[in-house]
Amino acid sequence: MREDHTDAAQVKNAIVALSGEAGDAGRFCSATATSWPIRGQPDGRALAWMAWDHPNMPWDDTRLYAADLGRRD
């Protein structure tokens, strides 16, 4: 999860993929105000996370997301 505070009035969040190379943080997808916990499938083929928007709390309004990352051979 990356938070961009360039504009303090509107913080932008994104889920990013890291290659391990210096300065490389490719954006995978935009995220809402709160996205947690991000979990990867053990074989690296999928991610899942829950998200909710401020001022809601997770027990008020939560969404579940899943993303297919494709085959990793």
- Report whether 72 contacts 44 (CB < 8 A): yes
Per-residue pLDDT band at 71 (split at 50, 70, 90): low
18 forms bridges with which residues in the sheet?
Answer: 25
- Report whether 17 contacts 31 (CB < 8 A): no
Q: How far apart are CA 68 and CA 29, in angstroms?
A: 12
Structure confidence at residue 68 (pLDDT)? 85
Write down the mean pLDDT value for the chain. 77
Q: Residues 40-63: pLDDT tens digits?
A: 888 888 888 888 877 788 888 888
Is 37 or 25 the better-scoring residue by pLDDT? 37
> Degrees (nearest 5) of the Cα angle 5, 57, 15?
40
- Mean predicted confidence (pLDDT) in 21-26: 68
